[in-house]
């Protein structure tokens, strides 16, 4: 029997803009509803018997290329989200952590991120990780450079894994919503043997019920990690 335990779930949240456009709304409305979906999915994960970490791709290093008005809105939405969700984190035993280069954000947003990390650090039901101004290649490059600065001349996989911002467990299951079937520079090192699932559902419409169905699908897969099964 292959190992289909599910400790680390990762999600590329895609489709907010298309969801809004289909309904005649501004793109910002899709992001607002999408933030509510993050809450629902995170709460579900906190109650799941196996899931220890849920990592969400919230803002990539490439997202700065979007119109300034949309980027500014996303920054304000993120700060509002963290403020409003603090009680949800505490009520559900959720620890919050951010990965990525948060120093590109405003001092106010940086402060909110760090404060939320500190206030939730003792919660143990789930670690919710938001990838913010994050890129997989940038994370690996930063890890290698840090090891070189430490004096390392020959690097092992264990060295690099330990120097990443996400030195938890490898990703067991990666989900992308909206029907797009690509990784988009997300957790490139950690998904080497992840199971992938591409949902046609736009992120604002994604639900805990669909996530449960995807997990059931995952449980019926055969994970071989490069080997064979009888």
Residues with catalytic annotation?
14, 63
Between CA 171 and CA 228 the distance in angstroms is 20
Between CA 209 and CA 213 the distance in angstroms is 6
Q: List helix spans (H) across the chain.
A: 16-22, 27-47, 68-91, 107-120, 136-149, 157-163, 208-219
Backbone angles phi and psi of 6, in degrees to 5: -130, 85
Q: Three-class SS of residue 200?
A: coil
**What is the DSSP secondary-structure string of 80-135?**
HHHHHHHHHHHHTTEEEEEES-GGGS-HHHHHHHHHHHHHHTT--SEEEEEEEEE-
Between CA 102 and CA 80 the distance in angstroms is 16
């Amino acid at each position: 029997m292959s190992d289909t335990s599910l400790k680390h779930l990762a999600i590329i949240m895609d489709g907010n803009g298309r969801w809004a456009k289909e309904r005649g709304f501004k793109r910002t409305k899709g992001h607002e509803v999408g933030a509510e979906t993050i809450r629902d999915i995170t709460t579900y994960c906190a109650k799941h018997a196996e899931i220890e970490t849920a990592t969400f791709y919230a803002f990539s290093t490439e997202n700065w290329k979007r119109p300034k008005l949309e980027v500014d809105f996303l920054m304000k939405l993120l700060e509002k989200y963290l403020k409003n969700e603090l009680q949800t984190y505490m009520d559900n035993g959720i620890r919050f952590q951010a990965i990525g280069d948060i120093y590109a954000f405003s001092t106010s947003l940086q402060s909110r991120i760090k404060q939320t990390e500190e206030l939730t650090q003792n919660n143990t039901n789930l670690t919710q990780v938001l990838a913010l101004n994050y890129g997989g290649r940038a994370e690996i490059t930063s890890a290698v450079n840090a090891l070189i600065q430490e004096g390392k001349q020959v690097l092992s996989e264990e060295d690099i894994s330990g120097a990443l911002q996400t030195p938890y467990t490898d990703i067991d299951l990666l989900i992308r919503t909206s029907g797009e079937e690509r990784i988009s520079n997300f957790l490139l090192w950690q998904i080497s043997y992840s199971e992938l699932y591409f949902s046609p559902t736009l992120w604002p419409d994604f639900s805990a019920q669909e996530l449960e169905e995807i997990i059931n699908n995952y449980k019926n897969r055969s994970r071989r990690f490069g080997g064979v099964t009888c």
